[in-house]
Amino acid sequence: MENGILFQKEARDRLLRGAELLMESVKGTLGPCGHHVVIQKEKGLPCITNDGVSIAKSLRVRDPYEQMGMQILLDSAVKTNETSGDGTTTSILLAYELLKHGFQYMENGGVAKAFVSGMEEAAAMIETFIIAHAQKIDTYERLAQIASISAKSEEIGALIAEALKEVSDPRCIVCEQGRSYESKLRIQEGMEFSASLLSPYFLPQDETSCSFKSPLLLISNDTIDSLQQIEHFLAYAINERKALIIICEDIDNEVLTQLILLHLQKKCQIAIMKAPSFGSYQQDLLEDLALVCQGSALIKELGRDFPDVSVHELGNAKEVIIRKHSLQLFTVANDAVQQKIETLKKQLPTVSKQYDIAHIHKRIARLEGKIAVLEIGGYTKGEIEEKRMRCEDALQAGFAAMEDGVVAGGGLAFLQCYRNLLPMVKEKSKDQLAGIHCVFAAVLRPFLQLMENNDENAIEMLEKQLSMDMHIGYDVWKQEWCDLHAQGVVDPAKVVIQALHNAVSVAGLLIRCDVAITLTQK
């Protein structure tokens, strides 16, 4: 391997070209009138989507400098998607505009440090303004409006609203691929979680599920290496004439074969599922399952082995339904479950990470025995997967809206910042002032792109928008001027803020760069 190296203008031009390729690929997907992109996959059918971050992740170019520019800009979209689930295309558009104008300013002798400082100051001003003007979400209908806009589908928004009436919290809603052309809502009773059946022989021939009445459950995150480890459980199940469902991390192939033979010979009804998830999340799930079943979970980190577990520590259930990739069980209520739910609710204020908060909410929902499953339908596999991805983004946008409220959509929130904050900019150094103006120029781009995607004259629409009342904006879907808040055309405040901050972050890093180094083959 050897290095390729470019300096200053040549380096910036190639990096900017990569960023431009990324921006051009995703800009047409913005808004309800946005277009789709078809992406070739190494295996299976091509993916058709209008999800900005999915498109961005799929892009590859031969020029290593252009690839670096794309990858750095992609980081803006990925971070926005991780934190708020939406706004990825907006983040890329903003980052590109900042980068383009920033590079131009550097070529004219600007000071990068002061310029980037001005950008960061402008982003902080906009964040303060947006937080101050955000409206809290107080009804399921408003949350459904946000979901509809994010998913670009009133059907999905209506399904999410219906699901919220059942489970009250969007964190307790799960999106799955459906098996028909219609999207449906299914409210799960009992406890259900994803787990893979380790052999299809445990299901009746030509059946996709199997029901076990009053089975015993062996729950562990350990690996079964020999039949001797679990023979006392098998003997007990056979003696009690009950089915034995084993949930474990893995199992030796020879032991699996022996258990399949026992099942097929009808000596003992058996099903073996792979324990889902990993690490502490897996341990939490298995302990919750054991609690619901009034049994014990064998957790290898606690130093217990299979021979140490008594047969009386096996879990019990009224009924268990197993499928190829899931397990559903129905149990009798017990006080320990309610106590655990109260404990988890008390933990919520002490947790800061969004993923951990969502994890606790899902644990509570499972223990309460109520999870809403959105079965996303369509005529083809590609359509179903594309709609499912939009549904998941819509749910993430719903979480974000619940946290920080909503602002006017359609690019209006940024335009409100432009109109109200730009005249308030105080005297700064030349370079800082240029950085501030760069950000305020960039925030116009999402509105302009929305208009372009709707085949409008973008400049004329922008001039008209800036001359109107602060609360009036253009509803692209209905093609009319109206009060966007009243019409439900809103964006989560968190999405808008994160899109801008992440764009400023990656653009600021690149603007400071004078040299680009790549690895090349000899």
Indicate the burial class of 297 (C-beta count within 10 angstroms; 0-12, 13-18, 19 or more).
buried
pLDDT in tens, 93-124: 999 999 999 999 999 999 999 999 999 999 99
Residue 76 confidence (pLDDT): 85
- The whole-angstrom separation of Cα 70 and Cα 65 is 9
- DSSP symbol at 353: -
The domain ranges of the chain are 2-135+406-520, 140-190+371-404, 192-332
Sheet of 370-376, strands arranged across: 173-177, 370-376, 184-189
Global pTM value:
0.67
Question: In angstroms, what CA-CA distances link 34 with 150, 152, 158?
Answer: 12, 9, 21
- Structural Rg of the chain based on CA atoms: 27
Residue 81 confidence (pLDDT): 78
CATH number among 3.30.465.10, 3.90.550.50, 3.30.260.10, 1.10.1060.10, domain 140-190+371-404: 3.30.260.10
84, 400 in Cβ contact below 8 A? yes
* CATH code of the domain made up of 192-332: 3.50.7.10
| Regions of the chain where pLDDT drops below 50 | none
Residue 453 confidence (pLDDT): 93
Looking at beta carbons, which pairs linking 159-164 to residues 24 or more positions away fall under 8 Å?
A: 159/183, 159/184, 159/185, 159/374, 160/374, 160/391, 160/394, 160/395, 160/398, 163/187, 163/372, 163/374, 164/140, 164/372
Q: Where are the beta strands (DSSP E) in 141-274?
A: 173-177, 184-189, 191-194, 196-197, 209-213, 216-220, 223-224, 244-248, 250-251, 270-274
Residue 282 confidence (pLDDT): 85
Residue 292 confidence (pLDDT): 86
* CATH code of the domain made up of 2-135+406-520: 1.10.560.10
Residue 205 confidence (pLDDT): 75
